[in-house]
Amino acid sequence: MLNGKGPFVDLHIAEPLYACKLLPPREAADELRARAYRIMQEMNGIHPGDPTYNEDQCIEHYRKTM
């Protein structure tokens, strides 16, 4: 039973992702990571061109939005 206290979390579940077996293991892992990151951004409404979008995932390139 909910007692009215938060915080609440929105949970989004995507389709399973699998590494490409045609690529060498290191490249397959990198490609899978990039694809998963891109899908998570899209699921949260963050698209290329948005100030919060961080294509290379480098912490120095992240722009704080608050």
Per residue in 9-64, pLDDT tens? 778 788 999 999 999 999 999 999 989 988 888 887 777 667 666 666 665 655 55
47 near 53, Cβ under 8 Å?
Answer: yes
**pLDDT at position 46, please?**
76
**pLDDT at position 53, please?**
63
d(Cα 2, Cα 30) in Å, to the nearest integer? 41
User: Residue 65 pLDDT > 80, yes or no?
Assistant: no
**pLDDT at position 41, please?**
80
d(Cα 33, Cα 63) in Å, to the nearest integer? 21
Q: Where is pLDDT greater, at 5 or 26? A: 26
d(Cα 61, Cα 66) in Å, to the nearest integer? 15
